């Protein structure tokens, strides 16, 4: 047994289902770790398939492919660093979320996940069988206390590993991003170290998977809870930590921890990463979007350029007779600032054609939102036609505030393959735009400098579907709306509780009803990156057919 271990934290971005590609990427990381003299390389949770695999791993042929890939990896890495590998693993007809310790051409030990999460975005109890008991892995004279993600969030698993004379805690994770979550991880790690007196190494996945995004930010803490190693956020990398044995446990040598972004910089990184990986991992090389001259489409364009590069982003301005000169100028200014292509396709002729086609059917009816929605749907048809011809993915540009209350047109501005702002409230849209005007992510592909003009940041939001229209004709001010929505969605408060926060009861009832009645729209909307505590749809699963909110439509009671 050596009194020193060099552990490599393989913070990698797997592609769901690309089992051979993920293993090839891991092999490259393993060879780099071997050149650095590492003894052990640790991956993230379920790295072989990607996380979360959902029902994908229930296919027998997938489980067979995983086993064949692991066997091939064992042969390739028979001499050199051992690998603590996250993989779905079948034994005796049962499927486990496993950490496989590969060494010397074989499997030196297996630890199964003990605490399977079944809340929020997690649904592991329908997929995996839990471990009967946590188990220390004995390896090369060491005793490794291995945990998988949720195992660290409660005291039971770490305590049982300590009872088995674990010398260090190693945690494989697929922990999705939320603002402030990294500090929660630190706190939980310190709790486990306080309970056990053991140092802890935490390896997290990085990259986007459907609506989830993982920031990486892997780390190691010594037994006192001091951060000694910190990997970056939103980047693939291999971080290293030196572990020195001292009688019954390992102490960790300090390195130079990376500084993680915070606030809007962190959220902007999440949105860029989620957008980039959704587009690229689904086989698209470019995107297009309707650039209206408003702040939502402008921020979406900036995110796309930063994520993919200006040459892969195309904006389309589709003016109607109600589109202002300011909107035309603002859209052009944003496109110029970002260096992206902008085409213009007027829709007045199409509007006239629809008026003519529907004249007999609409006879005796006054114009209303029907004609407004037709405009939005004309634009949706045009964008999808351009997508079909070019192969570019359409980005929907709506924000969380609008989607929550149904202030969006189904098959119109909601159409698209991905909605980058789906989980971003309108007030946060402005904060992100303000941040992007003065800063840029290091890995961003877009230009530096101001993107959003003062006028764009301050003018009244409007759909411009009729003369003199603003969003506040229909909705309360966005700061009020967003605060009410956060009460109803993030905190799941009732009407009385939300009113007690300080909001007008009638306004709260109206927003609650709008939120409830827009469920059918959201169910048909595009996916988008989760950046809040509760993403509508994946984490807020409400029935479409639901009469519960009806009692408040004409009532003053909660």
* Residues annotated as catalytic (active site), given as ranges: 45, 113, 149
Question: CA 549, CA 526: separation in Å to the nearest integer?
Answer: 25
| Token code pair at residue 511 | 């927003």
DSSP 470-495: -GGGTS--HHHHHHHHIIIIIS---H
Question: CA 272, CA 116: separation in Å to the nearest integer?
Answer: 30
- SS3 label, residue 545: coil
Question: Cβ distance 539 to 522 under 8 Å?
Answer: no
Three-state SS string over 136-186 comes to CEEECCEEEEEEEHHHHCCHHHHHHHHHCCCCEEEEEECCCCCCCHHHHHH
CB-based contacts of 439: which residues, under 8 Å, 6+ apart?
265
Tokens 């595009």 -> residue: 526
CB-based contacts of 468: which residues, under 8 Å, 6+ apart?
none
Strands across the sheet containing 137-139: 137-139, 142-148, 168-173, 200-204, 219-221, 227-230
Taken as a whole, the chain contains a residue count of 558
Tokens 């088995």 -> residue: 164
Least Cα distance to 136 among 145, 127, 149 occurs for: 145
Q: Report the Cα–Cα distance between both ends of the chain, in Å, rounded.
A: 67
Question: Cβ distance 170 to 145 under 8 Å?
Answer: yes
Strands across the sheet containing 393-394: 341-344, 313-317, 287-290, 393-394
| Token code pair at residue 508 | 């709260």
H and E: helices and strands count for the chain:
16, 19
- Exposure string over 247-278, b if 16+ CB within 10 A, otherwise e: eebbebeeeebbebbeebbbbbbbbbbbbbbb
- SS3 label, residue 103: strand
- SS3 label, residue 547: coil
Q: Is the peptide bond before 468 cis (omega within 30 degrees of 0)?
A: no
Question: CA 199, CA 212: separation in Å to the nearest integer?
Answer: 29
Least Cα distance to 340 among 375, 397, 297 occurs for: 297
Question: CA 242, CA 82: separation in Å to the nearest integer?
Answer: 15
Rounded to the nearest angstrom, the gap between the alpha carbon of residue 319 and the centroid of all alpha carbons in its chain is 33
């Amino acid at each position: 047994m050596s009194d020193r271990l060099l552990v490599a934290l393989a913070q990698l971005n797997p592609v769901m289902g690309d089992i051979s590609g993920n293993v090839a990427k891991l092999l490259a990381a393993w060879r780099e770790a071997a050149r650095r003299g590492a003894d052990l390389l640790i991956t993230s949770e379920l790295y072989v398939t990607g996380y979360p695999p959902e029902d994908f791993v229930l296919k027998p042929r997938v489980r067979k492919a995983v086993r064949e890939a692991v066997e091939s990896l064992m042969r390739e890495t028979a001499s050199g660093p051992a690998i603590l590998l996250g993989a779905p693993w079948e034994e005796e007809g049962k499927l486990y979320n496993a950490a496989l310790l590969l060494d010397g051409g074989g499997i030196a030990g297996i630890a199964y996940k003990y605490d399977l999460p079944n809340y929020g975005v997690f649904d592991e109890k329908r997929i995996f069988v839990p471990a009967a008991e946590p188990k220390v892995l004995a390896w090369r004279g060491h005793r490794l206390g291995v945990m998988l993600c949720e195992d660290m969030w409660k005291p039971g698993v770490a305590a049982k590993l300590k009872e088995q004379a674990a010398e260090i805690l190693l945690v494989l994770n697929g922990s999705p991003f939320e603002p402030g979550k990294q500090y929660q991880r630190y706190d939980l790690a310190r709790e486990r170290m306080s309970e056990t007196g053991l140092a802890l190494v935490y390896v997290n996945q990085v990259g986007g998977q459907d609506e989830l995004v993982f920031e990486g930010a892997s780390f190691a803490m010594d037994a006192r809870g001091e951060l000694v190693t910190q990997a970056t956020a939103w980047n693939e990398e291999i971080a290293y930590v030196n572990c020195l044995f001292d009688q019954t446990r390992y102490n960790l040598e300090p390195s130079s921890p990376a500084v993680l972004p915070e606030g809007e910089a962190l959220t902007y990184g999440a949105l860029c990463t989620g957008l980039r990986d959704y587009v690229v991992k689904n086989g698209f090389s470019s995107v297009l979007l309707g650039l209206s001259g408003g702040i939502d489409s402008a921020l979406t364009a900036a995110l796309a350029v930063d994520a993919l590069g200006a040459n892969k982003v195309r904006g389309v301005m589709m003016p109607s007779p109600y589109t202002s000169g300011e909107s035309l100028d603002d859209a052009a200014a944003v496109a110029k600032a970002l260096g992206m292509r902008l085409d213009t396709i007027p829709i007045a002729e199409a509007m006239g054609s629809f008026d003519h086609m529907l004249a007999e059917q609409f006879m005796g009816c006054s114009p209303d939102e029907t004609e407004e929605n037709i405009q939005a749907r004309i634009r949706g048809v045009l964008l999808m036609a351009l997508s079909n011809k070019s192969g570019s993915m359409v980005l929907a540009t709506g924000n969380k505030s609008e989607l929550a209350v149904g202030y969006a047109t189904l098959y119109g501005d909601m159409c698209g393959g991905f909605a980058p702002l789906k989980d971003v409230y309108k007030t946060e849209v402005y904060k992100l735009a303000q941040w992007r005007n003065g800063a840029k992510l290091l890995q961003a592909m877009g230009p530096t400098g101001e993107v959003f003009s003062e006028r764009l940041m301050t003018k009244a939001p409007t759909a411009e579907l009729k003369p003199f229209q603003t969003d506040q004709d229909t909705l309360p001010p966005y700061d009020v709306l967003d605060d009410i929505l956060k009460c109803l969605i993030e905190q799941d408060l009732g009407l009385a509780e939300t009113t007690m926060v300080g909001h007008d009861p009638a306004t709260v009832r109206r927003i609650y009803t709008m939120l409830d009645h827009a469920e059918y729209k959201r169910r048909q909307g595009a996916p988008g990156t989760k950046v809040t505590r509760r993403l509508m749809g994946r984490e807020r699963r409400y029935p479409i057919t639901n009469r519960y909110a009806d009692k408040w439509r004409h009532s003053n009671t909660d």
